[in-house]
């Protein structure tokens, strides 16, 4: 397969990209970033050093995904469980890291035409972090390229609970509960991810074979790629390796042959290059 390699890929990335079929890139990739603590432990460093090192992995992955024109990338930055069950000092560190990342990265996101979105219970995050998030979202809102969604204080079960609550509330304000109509499209339209197509590929780093309460509804037909690489060591080239593995799979969506994806709600990714 010989095709043009997008500008900006490094030598190793270009090598993997050359073997990909550009017509069959995933439209949405979701990543469970895992292994920061183990990365730090192996180096006899505090856990937070792993989170700090994880930012370079985020930067590389986001830039490579944008360069090859992936329309949507979603990163599981931290779960509701991380938020509630980890020591306050670690959570505070993650909050500061996120705030700093947003402030520092907005110019690069704009340069790469990337629009920022969030999923998760944002209203439970510290006020100053919420304000920084809103600022970064607004600053990148006009961008028409990749949609980068950060899952923050996210839980798939809470997302489903919130979706059911919002359907019931909408019905009770619109003529009463007898007007409640629930089907798959209605659920999908009430998820935090209503701005996105379902992921085609979910990547998990550090070798764990779990979904950990991430996008349980949306990942119904996703291909799962698990790499032993710990998140702080993950780079754009590893993302491309995951896509290469994805392209080897036969997607059947419950049918017998190469199938059509099940009907999904229409999503508006803006003027995304596909
Ligand atoms: C999982 O590793 C990682 C997290 C809970 C935090 C993810 C945060 C980052 C990658 C950095 C900041 C992110 C952004 C978007 C700026 P773990 O601590 O569970 O690792 P372990 O399983 O080895 O203990």
Provide the pLDDT confidence category of residue 19 given band limits of 50, 70 and 90.
very high
Mutate to test the pocket of ligand 1, among 30, 34, 89 (most ligand atoms within 8 A of CB): 34
Can you name the residues that pair with 118 across neighbouring β-strands? 150
Mutate to test the pocket of ligand 1, among 43, 48, 51 (most ligand atoms within 8 A of CB): 51
Q: Which of 10, 21, 34, 110 is catalytic?
A: 34
Q: Which pLDDT score is estimated for 254? A: 76
Give ligand 1 pocket residues (Cβ under 6 A).
33-38, 51, 54-55, 58, 75, 77-78, 82, 97-98, 101, 150, 231
Helix (H) or strand (E) holding 53: helix 47-67
Rounded-to-integer distance, Cα 12 and Cα 240, Å: 10
Judge if pTM exceeds 0.85: yes
Q: How far is the CA of 183 from the centre of ligand 1 (A)?
A: 35
User: What digits encode the pLDDT tens for the residues 189-248?
Assistant: 999 999 999 999 999 999 999 999 999 999 999 999 999 999 999 999 999 999 999 999
Which residue ranges make up each domain of the chain?
Answer: 11-246
Q: Which pLDDT score is estimated for 273? A: 36
Q: How far is the CA of 232 from the centre of ligand 1 (A)?
A: 9
11 and 182 Cβ atoms separated by less than 8 Å: no
Q: Which of 10, 36, 82, 174 is catalytic?
A: 82
Can you name the residues that pair with 119 across neighbouring β-strands? 151
Q: Judge whether 21 counts as a catalytic residue.
A: no
CATH number of 11-246: 3.40.1180.10
Ranking 8-22, 48-62, 65-79, 243-257 by mean pLDDT, the lowest is 243-257
Q: Which pLDDT score is estimated for 272? A: 40
- Distance set, CA 111 to CA 51, 73, 144, 145, 233 (Å): 25, 17, 11, 10, 25
Q: Judge whether 34 counts as a catalytic residue.
A: yes
């Amino acid at each position: 397969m010989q095709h043009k390699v997008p500008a900006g890929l490094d030598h190793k990335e270009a090598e993997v990209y050359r073997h990909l079929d550009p017509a069959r890139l995933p439209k949405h990739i979701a990543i469970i970033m895992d292994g920061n603590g183990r990365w730090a432990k192996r180096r006899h460093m505090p856990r937070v050093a792993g989170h700090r090192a994880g930012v370079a992995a985020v930067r590389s992955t986001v830039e490579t995904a944008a360069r090859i024109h992936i329309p949507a990338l979603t990163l599981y930055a931290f779960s509701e469980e991380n938020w509630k069950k980890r020591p306050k000092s670690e959570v505070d560190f993650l909050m500061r890291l996120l705030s700093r990342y947003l402030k520092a990265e907005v110019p690069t996101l704009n340069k790469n035409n990337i629009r920022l979105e969030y999923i998760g219970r944002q209203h439970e995050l510290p006020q100053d972090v919420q304000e920084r998030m809103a600022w970064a979202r607004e600053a990148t809102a006009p961008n028409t390229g990749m949609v980068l969604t950060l899952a923050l204080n996210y839980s798939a079960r809470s997302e489903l609970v919130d979706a059911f609550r919002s359907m019931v509330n909408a019905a009770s304000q619109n003529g009463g509960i007898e007007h409640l109509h629930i089907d798959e499209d209605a659920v999908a339209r009430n998820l935090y991810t209503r701005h996105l197509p379902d992921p085609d590929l979910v990547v998990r780093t550090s070798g764990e074979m779990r979904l950990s309460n991430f996008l349980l509804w949306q990942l119904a037909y996703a291909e799962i790629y698990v790499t032993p690489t710990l998140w702080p060591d993950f780079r754009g080239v590893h993302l491309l390796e995951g896509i290469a593995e994805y392209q080897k799979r036969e997607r059947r969506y419950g049918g017998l042959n190469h199938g059509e994806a099940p009907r999904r709600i229409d999503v508006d990714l803006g003027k995304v290059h596909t």
